[in-house]
Amino acid sequence: MFTSEEIRERVNRHLTCKKSDVLEDPFNHERISRIKNLLKEKNALLIAHYYTHPAIQALADETGGYVADSLEMARKGQAHKATTLIVSGVRFMGETAKILSPEKRIFMPNLAATCSLDVGCPADEFAAFCDQHPDRTVVVYANTSAAVKARADWTVTSGCAVSIIEHLQDQGKKILWAPDKFLGNYIKTKTGADMLLWNGSCIVHEEFKAQGIRELKHLYPNAAVLVHPESPASVIALADVTGSTSQLIEAARSMPNSSFIIATEKGIFYKMRKVVGDTKQLIEAPTAGKGATCKSCARCPWMAMNTLSGLEHVLDNQPDECEIHVDNLVRKKALISLQRMLDFTRVR
Protein backbone atom coordinates (compact mmCIF):
# COMPACT_ATOMS: atom_id res chain seq x y z
CA MET A 1 0.00 0.00 0.00
CA PHE A 2 1.19 3.53 -0.73
CA THR A 3 2.12 6.06 1.93
CA SER A 4 0.22 9.36 1.99
CA GLU A 5 3.21 11.09 0.39
CA GLU A 6 3.39 8.56 -2.46
CA ILE A 7 -0.31 8.91 -3.16
CA ARG A 8 -0.03 12.69 -3.13
CA GLU A 9 2.84 12.50 -5.63
CA ARG A 10 0.76 10.30 -7.96
CA VAL A 11 -2.22 12.64 -7.66
CA ASN A 12 -0.14 15.74 -8.36
CA ARG A 13 1.07 14.16 -11.61
CA HIS A 14 -2.57 13.99 -12.73
CA LEU A 15 -3.39 17.58 -11.78
CA THR A 16 -3.34 18.71 -15.38
CA CYS A 17 -6.15 21.24 -15.11
CA LYS A 18 -4.94 24.50 -16.63
CA LYS A 19 -6.57 27.91 -16.71
CA SER A 20 -7.69 27.09 -20.24
CA ASP A 21 -9.53 24.02 -18.93
CA VAL A 22 -11.73 26.04 -16.57
CA LEU A 23 -15.23 26.71 -17.86
CA GLU A 24 -15.10 29.55 -20.34
CA ASP A 25 -17.85 32.17 -20.54
CA PRO A 26 -20.73 30.21 -18.94
CA PHE A 27 -23.24 32.60 -20.51
CA ASN A 28 -22.28 31.94 -24.13
CA HIS A 29 -25.88 31.66 -25.27
CA GLU A 30 -24.98 30.82 -28.86
CA ARG A 31 -22.89 27.84 -27.75
CA ILE A 32 -25.53 26.70 -25.27
CA SER A 33 -28.21 26.84 -27.96
CA ARG A 34 -26.04 24.80 -30.32
CA ILE A 35 -25.38 22.16 -27.63
CA LYS A 36 -29.12 21.82 -27.05
CA ASN A 37 -29.69 21.26 -30.76
CA LEU A 38 -26.86 18.74 -30.98
CA LEU A 39 -28.26 16.73 -28.08
CA LYS A 40 -31.51 16.34 -30.03
CA GLU A 41 -29.79 15.56 -33.33
CA LYS A 42 -27.53 12.88 -31.81
CA ASN A 43 -30.21 11.28 -29.62
CA ALA A 44 -27.90 12.05 -26.71
CA LEU A 45 -28.59 12.59 -23.02
CA LEU A 46 -26.51 14.91 -20.83
CA ILE A 47 -25.98 13.65 -17.30
CA ALA A 48 -23.94 15.83 -14.96
CA HIS A 49 -22.58 15.52 -11.46
CA TYR A 50 -23.49 17.96 -8.69
CA TYR A 51 -19.87 19.15 -8.67
CA THR A 52 -19.75 20.39 -12.27
CA HIS A 53 -20.14 24.06 -13.17
CA PRO A 54 -23.66 25.49 -12.69
CA ALA A 55 -23.90 26.26 -16.41
CA ILE A 56 -23.51 22.57 -17.23
CA GLN A 57 -25.95 21.50 -14.53
CA ALA A 58 -28.46 24.01 -15.88
CA LEU A 59 -27.97 22.61 -19.39
CA ALA A 60 -28.74 19.11 -18.15
CA ASP A 61 -31.88 20.36 -16.40
CA GLU A 62 -33.06 22.32 -19.44
CA THR A 63 -32.57 19.49 -21.94
CA GLY A 64 -34.30 16.67 -20.09
CA GLY A 65 -31.03 15.30 -18.72
CA TYR A 66 -30.09 14.68 -15.13
CA VAL A 67 -27.98 16.19 -12.38
CA ALA A 68 -27.16 13.59 -9.75
CA ASP A 69 -24.52 11.78 -7.74
CA SER A 70 -22.23 9.30 -9.48
CA LEU A 71 -24.33 6.14 -9.27
CA GLU A 72 -27.64 7.84 -9.97
CA MET A 73 -26.06 9.36 -13.10
CA ALA A 74 -25.37 5.87 -14.39
CA ARG A 75 -28.78 4.53 -13.40
CA LYS A 76 -30.63 7.40 -15.07
CA GLY A 77 -28.55 6.90 -18.20
CA GLN A 78 -29.29 3.18 -18.18
CA ALA A 79 -33.04 3.74 -17.95
CA HIS A 80 -33.22 6.42 -20.65
CA LYS A 81 -33.97 5.60 -24.30
CA ALA A 82 -31.07 7.76 -25.57
CA THR A 83 -28.46 5.80 -27.52
CA THR A 84 -25.63 8.13 -26.50
CA LEU A 85 -24.78 9.41 -23.03
CA ILE A 86 -22.67 12.51 -22.42
CA VAL A 87 -21.24 12.17 -18.93
CA SER A 88 -20.12 15.45 -17.42
CA GLY A 89 -18.06 14.48 -14.41
CA VAL A 90 -14.91 12.43 -13.93
CA ARG A 91 -13.70 9.28 -15.63
CA PHE A 92 -14.90 6.64 -13.17
CA MET A 93 -18.43 8.02 -13.64
CA GLY A 94 -18.20 7.45 -17.37
CA GLU A 95 -16.89 3.92 -16.77
CA THR A 96 -19.76 3.16 -14.39
CA ALA A 97 -22.23 4.34 -17.01
CA LYS A 98 -20.59 2.03 -19.57
CA ILE A 99 -20.68 -0.92 -17.16
CA LEU A 100 -24.43 -0.51 -16.72
CA SER A 101 -25.16 0.47 -20.35
CA PRO A 102 -22.74 -1.46 -22.60
CA GLU A 103 -25.01 -1.03 -25.61
CA LYS A 104 -24.83 2.77 -25.43
CA ARG A 105 -22.00 5.02 -26.57
CA ILE A 106 -20.58 6.94 -23.61
CA PHE A 107 -18.66 10.18 -24.14
CA MET A 108 -17.05 12.68 -21.80
CA PRO A 109 -15.92 16.24 -22.59
CA ASN A 110 -12.42 15.42 -21.33
CA LEU A 111 -11.16 11.93 -20.46
CA ALA A 112 -8.25 13.48 -18.55
CA ALA A 113 -10.77 14.41 -15.85
CA THR A 114 -10.00 11.86 -13.15
CA CYS A 115 -10.23 11.65 -9.35
CA SER A 116 -7.60 11.49 -6.61
CA LEU A 117 -9.31 8.44 -5.11
CA ASP A 118 -9.12 6.63 -8.46
CA VAL A 119 -5.51 7.72 -9.13
CA GLY A 120 -4.46 6.71 -5.61
CA CYS A 121 -5.78 3.16 -6.01
CA PRO A 122 -4.16 1.57 -9.10
CA ALA A 123 -5.76 -1.74 -10.05
CA ASP A 124 -2.60 -3.85 -10.02
CA GLU A 125 -1.37 -2.63 -6.61
CA PHE A 126 -4.88 -2.97 -5.21
CA ALA A 127 -5.21 -6.53 -6.49
CA ALA A 128 -1.91 -7.42 -4.84
CA PHE A 129 -3.14 -5.91 -1.57
CA CYS A 130 -6.34 -7.96 -1.80
CA ASP A 131 -4.32 -11.13 -2.45
CA GLN A 132 -2.47 -10.55 0.81
CA HIS A 133 -5.78 -10.67 2.71
CA PRO A 134 -7.85 -13.46 1.12
CA ASP A 135 -9.99 -13.85 4.23
CA ARG A 136 -11.57 -10.43 3.79
CA THR A 137 -14.59 -9.35 1.75
CA VAL A 138 -13.50 -6.62 -0.65
CA VAL A 139 -15.71 -3.53 -0.60
CA VAL A 140 -14.83 -0.54 -2.77
CA TYR A 141 -16.23 2.93 -3.04
CA ALA A 142 -17.84 3.96 -6.34
CA ASN A 143 -14.97 6.45 -6.83
CA THR A 144 -12.73 3.79 -8.36
CA SER A 145 -11.85 2.48 -11.81
CA ALA A 146 -13.75 -0.30 -13.55
CA ALA A 147 -10.73 -2.57 -12.99
CA VAL A 148 -10.81 -1.98 -9.22
CA LYS A 149 -14.56 -2.62 -9.15
CA ALA A 150 -13.90 -5.85 -11.04
CA ARG A 151 -11.63 -7.01 -8.18
CA ALA A 152 -14.24 -6.20 -5.54
CA ASP A 153 -17.02 -8.26 -4.01
CA TRP A 154 -19.15 -5.15 -3.44
CA THR A 155 -19.22 -1.60 -4.76
CA VAL A 156 -20.89 0.99 -2.52
CA THR A 157 -21.69 4.69 -2.47
CA SER A 158 -21.39 7.02 0.50
CA GLY A 159 -25.18 6.90 0.80
CA CYS A 160 -25.48 3.12 1.25
CA ALA A 161 -22.03 2.15 2.57
CA VAL A 162 -22.99 2.00 6.25
CA SER A 163 -26.03 -0.24 5.69
CA ILE A 164 -24.09 -2.61 3.42
CA ILE A 165 -21.17 -2.90 5.85
CA GLU A 166 -23.68 -3.59 8.64
CA HIS A 167 -25.21 -6.30 6.46
CA LEU A 168 -21.80 -7.91 5.89
CA GLN A 169 -20.91 -7.53 9.55
CA ASP A 170 -24.08 -9.44 10.51
CA GLN A 171 -22.76 -12.27 8.33
CA GLY A 172 -19.48 -12.28 10.27
CA LYS A 173 -17.46 -10.83 7.39
CA LYS A 174 -14.17 -9.01 7.80
CA ILE A 175 -13.83 -6.13 5.37
CA LEU A 176 -11.06 -4.87 3.11
CA TRP A 177 -12.06 -1.31 2.21
CA ALA A 178 -10.81 1.08 -0.48
CA PRO A 179 -9.96 3.72 -1.33
CA ASP A 180 -11.03 6.62 0.93
CA LYS A 181 -9.55 6.29 4.42
CA PHE A 182 -11.77 9.02 5.90
CA LEU A 183 -14.99 7.48 4.61
CA GLY A 184 -13.69 4.06 5.68
CA ASN A 185 -12.94 5.32 9.18
CA TYR A 186 -16.38 6.94 9.38
CA ILE A 187 -18.05 3.64 8.46
CA LYS A 188 -15.83 1.70 10.86
CA THR A 189 -16.70 4.09 13.69
CA LYS A 190 -20.43 3.92 12.91
CA THR A 191 -20.61 0.14 12.62
CA GLY A 192 -17.74 -1.24 14.70
CA ALA A 193 -16.93 -3.54 11.77
CA ASP A 194 -13.52 -5.18 11.33
CA MET A 195 -12.21 -3.06 8.43
CA LEU A 196 -8.76 -2.89 6.87
CA LEU A 197 -8.45 0.47 5.12
CA TRP A 198 -6.62 1.48 1.95
CA ASN A 199 -4.76 4.77 2.34
CA GLY A 200 -6.56 7.11 -0.08
CA SER A 201 -8.29 10.47 0.18
CA CYS A 202 -10.15 13.13 -1.80
CA ILE A 203 -8.04 16.24 -2.36
CA VAL A 204 -11.12 18.43 -1.87
CA HIS A 205 -12.65 16.97 1.27
CA GLU A 206 -9.41 16.31 3.12
CA GLU A 207 -8.77 20.07 3.20
CA PHE A 208 -11.74 20.97 5.38
CA LYS A 209 -10.57 21.86 8.87
CA ALA A 210 -12.43 21.62 12.17
CA GLN A 211 -11.07 24.93 13.44
CA GLY A 212 -12.46 26.81 10.45
CA ILE A 213 -15.89 25.30 10.98
CA ARG A 214 -15.78 26.13 14.69
CA GLU A 215 -15.05 29.74 13.80
CA LEU A 216 -17.99 29.80 11.40
CA LYS A 217 -20.24 28.25 14.04
CA HIS A 218 -19.27 31.09 16.36
CA LEU A 219 -20.44 33.57 13.71
CA TYR A 220 -23.54 31.53 12.81
CA PRO A 221 -24.50 29.68 16.00
CA ASN A 222 -27.84 28.47 14.64
CA ALA A 223 -26.41 27.11 11.40
CA ALA A 224 -26.51 23.36 10.80
CA VAL A 225 -23.24 21.82 9.61
CA LEU A 226 -23.53 19.50 6.60
CA VAL A 227 -20.46 17.35 5.93
CA HIS A 228 -19.51 14.76 3.33
CA PRO A 229 -18.02 11.61 4.95
CA GLU A 230 -14.86 11.86 2.81
CA SER A 231 -13.83 14.57 5.28
CA PRO A 232 -11.44 14.12 8.25
CA ALA A 233 -12.91 12.71 11.47
CA SER A 234 -12.45 16.04 13.29
CA VAL A 235 -14.70 17.71 10.72
CA ILE A 236 -17.29 14.92 10.77
CA ALA A 237 -17.43 15.25 14.57
CA LEU A 238 -18.85 18.76 14.15
CA ALA A 239 -21.53 17.76 11.66
CA ASP A 240 -25.26 17.87 12.25
CA VAL A 241 -25.65 15.72 9.14
CA THR A 242 -22.99 13.56 7.48
CA GLY A 243 -24.00 12.18 4.12
CA SER A 244 -23.67 11.84 0.36
CA THR A 245 -24.23 14.76 -2.00
CA SER A 246 -27.90 13.91 -2.50
CA GLN A 247 -28.37 13.38 1.25
CA LEU A 248 -26.85 16.79 2.02
CA ILE A 249 -29.13 18.47 -0.52
CA GLU A 250 -32.14 16.77 1.07
CA ALA A 251 -30.97 17.83 4.54
CA ALA A 252 -30.79 21.47 3.46
CA ARG A 253 -34.30 21.19 2.05
CA SER A 254 -35.94 19.42 4.97
CA MET A 255 -34.20 20.73 8.10
CA PRO A 256 -35.82 23.71 9.85
CA ASN A 257 -32.58 25.71 10.16
CA SER A 258 -32.40 28.99 8.28
CA SER A 259 -28.66 28.69 7.63
CA PHE A 260 -26.23 25.88 6.75
CA ILE A 261 -22.46 25.50 6.73
CA ILE A 262 -21.62 23.21 3.81
CA ALA A 263 -18.43 21.13 3.82
CA THR A 264 -18.26 19.61 0.36
CA GLU A 265 -17.31 20.61 -3.20
CA LYS A 266 -18.86 23.99 -3.97
CA GLY A 267 -20.54 22.81 -7.17
CA ILE A 268 -23.30 21.44 -4.93
CA PHE A 269 -24.55 24.97 -4.27
CA TYR A 270 -26.30 25.15 -7.67
CA LYS A 271 -28.71 22.30 -6.95
CA MET A 272 -28.92 23.05 -3.23
CA ARG A 273 -29.93 26.64 -3.96
CA LYS A 274 -32.60 25.44 -6.41
CA VAL A 275 -34.02 23.20 -3.69
CA VAL A 276 -34.05 25.68 -0.81
CA GLY A 277 -34.78 28.86 -2.79
CA ASP A 278 -34.01 32.18 -1.13
CA THR A 279 -35.38 31.19 2.24
CA LYS A 280 -32.16 29.72 3.62
CA GLN A 281 -28.57 30.89 3.87
CA LEU A 282 -25.89 28.57 2.47
CA ILE A 283 -22.33 29.14 3.73
CA GLU A 284 -19.14 27.61 2.33
CA ALA A 285 -17.00 25.81 4.90
CA PRO A 286 -13.36 26.99 4.73
CA THR A 287 -10.54 24.77 3.49
CA ALA A 288 -6.86 24.46 4.46
CA GLY A 289 -7.04 26.31 7.76
CA LYS A 290 -6.53 29.91 8.77
CA GLY A 291 -3.86 31.70 6.77
CA ALA A 292 -3.07 28.64 4.64
CA THR A 293 -3.14 28.28 0.87
CA CYS A 294 -5.47 25.50 -0.20
CA LYS A 295 -4.87 23.21 -3.18
CA SER A 296 -8.50 22.83 -4.12
CA CYS A 297 -10.36 25.64 -2.30
CA ALA A 298 -13.34 23.25 -2.27
CA ARG A 299 -13.24 23.00 -6.06
CA CYS A 300 -12.32 19.76 -7.76
CA PRO A 301 -9.78 20.61 -10.50
CA TRP A 302 -10.93 17.66 -12.59
CA MET A 303 -14.61 18.56 -12.43
CA ALA A 304 -13.55 22.00 -13.67
CA MET A 305 -12.26 20.36 -16.86
CA ASN A 306 -15.85 19.88 -18.00
CA THR A 307 -16.45 22.88 -20.27
CA LEU A 308 -19.08 24.12 -22.66
CA SER A 309 -16.61 23.98 -25.54
CA GLY A 310 -15.80 20.40 -24.56
CA LEU A 311 -19.48 19.48 -24.62
CA GLU A 312 -19.94 21.10 -28.01
CA HIS A 313 -16.84 19.38 -29.42
CA VAL A 314 -17.77 15.92 -28.23
CA LEU A 315 -21.33 16.21 -29.53
CA ASP A 316 -20.20 17.64 -32.84
CA ASN A 317 -17.46 15.13 -33.58
CA GLN A 318 -17.89 12.15 -31.22
CA PRO A 319 -14.10 11.69 -31.20
CA ASP A 320 -12.67 8.36 -30.12
CA GLU A 321 -10.39 10.08 -27.60
CA CYS A 322 -13.49 11.23 -25.73
CA GLU A 323 -15.35 7.90 -25.77
CA ILE A 324 -15.39 5.56 -22.78
CA HIS A 325 -14.38 1.97 -23.51
CA VAL A 326 -14.32 -0.79 -20.89
CA ASP A 327 -12.87 -4.22 -21.62
CA ASN A 328 -15.79 -6.65 -21.76
CA LEU A 329 -14.32 -9.12 -19.25
CA VAL A 330 -13.57 -6.28 -16.83
CA ARG A 331 -17.06 -4.90 -17.37
CA LYS A 332 -18.73 -8.22 -16.57
CA LYS A 333 -16.70 -8.65 -13.37
CA ALA A 334 -17.31 -5.05 -12.28
CA LEU A 335 -21.03 -5.45 -12.92
CA ILE A 336 -21.18 -8.20 -10.29
CA SER A 337 -20.04 -5.89 -7.48
CA LEU A 338 -22.26 -3.06 -8.73
CA GLN A 339 -25.29 -5.30 -9.14
CA ARG A 340 -24.98 -6.56 -5.56
CA MET A 341 -25.31 -2.98 -4.36
CA LEU A 342 -28.20 -2.24 -6.73
CA ASP A 343 -30.08 -5.34 -5.60
CA PHE A 344 -29.40 -4.56 -1.93
CA THR A 345 -30.62 -0.96 -2.14
CA ARG A 346 -33.61 -1.83 -4.32
CA VAL A 347 -35.27 -3.94 -1.63
CA ARG A 348 -34.85 -1.29 1.09
Cα 324 to Cα 305: distance, rounded to the nearest angstrom? 16
Q: Is the pTM of this model over 0.85?
A: yes
Cα 87 to Cα 57: distance, rounded to the nearest angstrom? 11
Residue 292 has pLDDT above 80, yes or no: no
Measured between its terminal Cα atoms, the distance across the chain in Å is: 35
Confidence at residue 286, expressed as pLDDT on a 0 to 100 scale: 85
CA-nearest of 38, 90, 92 to 65 is 38
Residue 14 has pLDDT above 50, yes or no: no
Cα 267 to Cα 50: distance, rounded to the nearest angstrom? 6
pLDDT tens column, 199-257: 999 999 999 999 999 999 999 999 999 999 999 999 999 999 999 999 999 999 999 99
pLDDT above 90 as % of the chain: 84
Alpha helices in 50-208, H assignment, sequence order? 54-62, 70-79, 91-100, 116-119, 123-131, 146-151, 161-170, 181-191
pLDDT tens column, 75-109: 999 999 999 999 999 999 999 999 999 999 999 99
pLDDT tens column, 136-189: 999 999 999 999 999 999 999 999 999 999 999 999 999 999 999 999 999 999
Cβ–Cβ under 8 Å, residues 140 and 155: yes
Confidence at residue 17, expressed as pLDDT on a 0 to 100 scale: 39
Cα 118 to Cα 11: distance, rounded to the nearest angstrom? 9
Confidence at residue 148, expressed as pLDDT on a 0 to 100 scale: 98
Q: Write the CB contacts of 309 (distance below 8 Å, at least 6 apart in sequence).
A: 24, 31
Average per-residue pLDDT in the chain? 91
Residue 296 has pLDDT above 80, yes or no: no
Residue 347 has pLDDT above 70, yes or no: no
- Residue 16 — very low, low, confident or very high, per pLDDT cuts 50/70/90? very low
The alpha carbon dihedral of 315, 316, 322, 327 has a sign of positive
Cα 54 to Cα 34: distance, rounded to the nearest angstrom? 18
Does residue 221 have a cis bond before it (omega within 30 degrees)? no
**Mean pLDDT value of segment 299-308:** 94
